[in-house]
Structure 1
Amino acid sequence: MVGRSTSPDRGGTVTGEHRVLEAGAGRIHVVERGTGPLVLLVHGFPESWYSWRRQLPVLAAAGYRAVALDVRGYGRSSRPQDPAAYRMLDLISDNVSVVRALGEDSAVIIGHDWGATIAAQSALVEPGMFRAVGLLSVPYTPPGGPRPSEVFARMGGEQEFYVSYFQRPGRAEAEIEPDARGWLAGIYSALSADTMPAADAADPHFVAPGGTLRERFPSGVLPFWMSQDDLDFYAAEFERTGFTGALNRYRNMDRDWEDLAAYAGSPIKQPSLFLGGTRDASTMWLSDAIDAYPQTLPNLTGSHLLDCGHWIQQERPDEVNRLLLEFLDNL
C-alpha cells in the first residue's frame, strides 16, 4: 500500500477510505468501505470511482468489502505516457494487483460501461481470482470476430462512429479539454433517459463530417440524478488529469483483439449477472449478445433491463443495489 486518506469528498461526505495501492500501472487509487467478501467496482468512460458512490455504502452495510477504483489513466491512479499501456491485459493485471494489495485471494468484480468489458475479461483471463462477475450496460461478447477498427469504420455511413472518432491521439482532446465541465454535462445528459435527445434528433454517438460530438449533446440541462456538486467532482478530476489516459482505452481495441485471440469465443463460466437500460444504446446494439448468454454466460443468474439510459447505477441506484445484493447474497 502506498498511502491512505479519509478526507471528505466534494460535498463534504466521506464515501469511504481512500487508498493508493501499488499495481502494474505504478499506483491505483481506490475507495474502500465495509468488511467482508471483496467486491471490486470498475467504472467506465468518462467517469471515476465516484460513479459507485451510491453503491459503496449499501454494499458495506450488507456485509461486503466494497472497493471502487480509478482505472489507470483516471483520477488519482497512474497515467502512463505510452498509449499501448492501456491495453486490456494491463488493466486486468491492475485488477489482480489491487486484489492482492488488499490482502485478498479472490473477489467478485462488477463493472459498468468500459468497466463491464474490463470486468468480463478479467473474469475470463483470471477465473481463479475473480469468482463471479456483474456487468452493467455493456453485454458480454467473447473475444474474436472481425477486427474492431474495421467494424466501427463501417458504422454510420457518412457519419463517423464515436469509437472511430476517438482513435487519433489529440483529436477528441481538442474538442473536450477546453471546456471539460461543459462537455461532461453534455455527454451525461445525452445518454440519460430523462434528458437524452428525442428519437428523431441527431444521434449523439455519431459525428457529422467536420463536426464534433459536443454539437449533438443537450445544453443547459443536467439529468435528474446529477447535482452541480456531482458534476463539479467529475470536472475537477478531468481538469487535473486531462482525457488522454481515458481515451487511450479506445485506442487499444485492435491490440486487445490480438492479445486475447487465444480466448476467441470463450464463455465466462463463473456466476454472472447482467443489468442494462431499455433506453441505452450500448445495451440495445448488443441485443444479440444478450440472446447468446446461454452459451457465453452459462452460469448467468439474472439478466434485467431497467427503465433508464446508460448511467444505470446512478439513474436507478435503488433497483441496481437490490439486484446486486440478490446476486451477491446467493453466491
Structure 2
Amino acid sequence: MDQSNYKQTKTKRGLTYSYYCSPSTSSKPILFLSHGFPSASFLWRKQVPFFQQLGYGLIVPDHLGYGATDKPTDPKLYVGRGLAEDMVDILDAEGAAQVIAIGHDWGSYLVSRMLHYCPQRVSACAFFAVGYKPADGAVNLITRTEQIRNALGYDLLAYQRFFVEPDAPALIERNIDSFINLLYPEPPELWKKSMSVDGGTRAWLEGNTITSLPSYMTPEDKEVLRSSLLSGGLSAPLCWYKAQAEESNLEEDAKLSPSARDIAHPFLYVAFNKDYLALPFMNDTIHDKYVKGPMTRKEIDGDHWGVMSHAAEVNQILLEWMVSLASV
C-alpha cells in the first residue's frame, strides 16, 4: 500500500489516527476497511489495489493501538461507542457522508458499533470470518470455560484469558516471531491445539516455538507486521481484549434501544470454513436473530486469514455483492 496515500487526523477524543485514503471516481461508493488483531491496515493490502483500480473510494484506518495511530493503554478508551465516534471523525475529515463498512476480526466489532451508534453513515455492511457483534450485554465470554467446552468440545477462548494477563505484552514482544507463527498458523489446526487449550498460548510463547510461514505471508510481509507490532508494543492492541474482559462498554451499550441492535442494512457475511475460533455456525445464529434486511451469505475454504490467503475469491465476492446493491 502506497505510503503517500496515508493521512492523519485528530478525533474529538484527542486521539490521532493514521489511515489510508483514496478518493472514488465517478459515482463509485467509498469502502471502509476495518482490520482486527494483530494486523493493522496492512491486512487489506490485497483488497486496496483491486478496488482502487476499479474506481472505488477507500478509507482504511490503522485502528487504535496500531500502526501510526495513537497507542493508549487505558482499556476504557477502547469502548465501542468511542471507537465508532472516532471513525465518524475520520469520515468527516474526508467528507464521506456514507461508506460501505467492511470488517474482519475485531474490525467486525467496530463495524458493528458503527451500525449501532452512527448507522446513517453506513450504506451497507460486510463481515469476514467474524460476524456481526450485537451490543446485547453478553460481552465477557472468557470466564464461561465449562459452558464453551461442553458446547464445542474445546476451550474456544482460552487464548483470550492469556491476552489479558499482566505479563502478556512483554512475553509476546520477547517472542514476537513465535507469536506471529501462532497467530498466522501453518497448519490452521494449530489454533485448536494451542490457542484453545488453557495455558497453551503461554506455553507456545515461553517455548519460543517456531513454525513455517503460511503460504499467504511472504518473509517481507512478516517483517512489515513484525516491525509494526514492535514499534508500539502489544500493550495497546491487547486493550481491545481488556476492554471486553473488564466489560468497559456495558454502560454505553445498555443505553441502546433493543431496535438499535437489529440490522436493516444490506448485509454480507463470508464464512471461513477452516477458522477454528470464529466458528461460522455461531455467527449464523446471531445473524438469524438480528439481521432484518437483505442478507447474502458466502463461504470460503480458508482459515481466519482468508482475506489474504483467498484474496482473489474474497475480492470477487465483495465486488459481485456491491454490484448487486447498485442494481437494486
Q: TM-score, normalised by structure 1?
A: 0.85
Aligned to 2:302: 308
CA–CA distance in structure 2, aligned partners of residues 210 and 166 of structure 1: 9
Report what 1:234 is aligned to. 225
Q: Which 10-residue stretch deviates more, 58-67 or 48-57?
A: 58-67
1:324 aligns with 2:321: no
Q: Secondary structure of the residue that 2:185 maps to in structure 1?
A: helix
- Match of residue 215 from structure 2: 224
Equivalent residue, structure 1, for 2:242: 251
Does structure 2 retain, via aligned residues, the 8 Å contact 1:148–1:257? no
User: Residue 178 of structure 1: CA displacement?
Assistant: 0.9
**Aligned pairs (5 A) from 1:5-24:** 14=2, 17-23=5-11, 24=13
Moved more, 157-166 or 180-189: 157-166
Whether the aligned pair in 2 keeps the contact of 1:123 and 1:131 (CA below 8 Å) is: no
Amino acid aligned to 1:228? P
Q: 1:223 to 1:104 in 2, by over 3 A?
A: same
SS of the residue corresponding to residue 229 of structure 1 reads helix
Summarize the Cα distance change of 1:75–1:147 in structure 2 as closer, same or farther, 3 Å threshold.
Answer: closer
Q: Cα gap change, 1:148/1:210 in structure 2, threshold over 3 Å: closer, same or farther?
A: closer
* Aligned match of 1:6: none
What is the TM-score normalised by the length of structure 2? 0.86
Unpaired stretches in structure 2, ≥5 consecutive residues: none
Distance in structure 1 (CA, Å) of the matches to 2:117 and 2:94: 20
Aligned residue for 1:263? 256
Conservation of the 8 A alpha-carbon contact between 2:124 and 2:267: yes
C-alpha separation in 1, matches of 2:137 and 2:281 = 17
CA distance in 2, matches of 1:198, 1:166: 17
Give the paired residue count.
312
Do the aligned residues in 1 keep the contact of 2:274 with 2:302 (CA within 8 Å)? Answer: yes
Once residues 55 and 210 of structure 1 are traced to their aligned partners in structure 2, the CA distance between those partners, rounded to angstroms, is: 30
CA RMSD of aligned residues (A): 2.7
C-alpha offsets along residues 251-278 of structure 1, whole Å, 9 cap, x if unaligned? Answer: 1111223321233752111111111210
Task: Give the Cα separation in 2 of the matches to 1:60 and 1:209.
Answer: 41
1:99/1:216 Cα in 2 relative to 1: closer, same or farther (>3 Å)?
farther
Contact 1:152 1:164 in 2 (8 A): no
1:205 pairs with 2:202: no
1:67 to 45, 59, 71: 59
Post-superposition shift, 1:172?
A: 1.3
Deviation at 1:162?
Answer: 1.5
Shift of 1:104: 1.5
Listed as ranges, the matches of 1:79-118 within 5 Å are 79-118=71-110
Pair 101,313 (structure 1): closer, same or farther in 2 beyond 3 Å: same
Indicate if the aligned counterparts of 2:8 and 2:16 stay in contact, CA closer than 8 A: yes
Tell me the secondary structure at the aligned position of residue 148 of structure 1: coil
Cα contact 1:153–1:164 (8 A) shared by 2 = no
Give the match's secondary structure for 2:231.
helix
Deviations 1:102-127 (A, max 9, x none): 11211111110000111122112211
Higher share of residues assigned helix: 2
Distance (Å, rounded) in 1 between the aligned partners of 2:49 and 2:139: 40
Are 2:21 and 1:28 equivalent residues in the alignment?
no
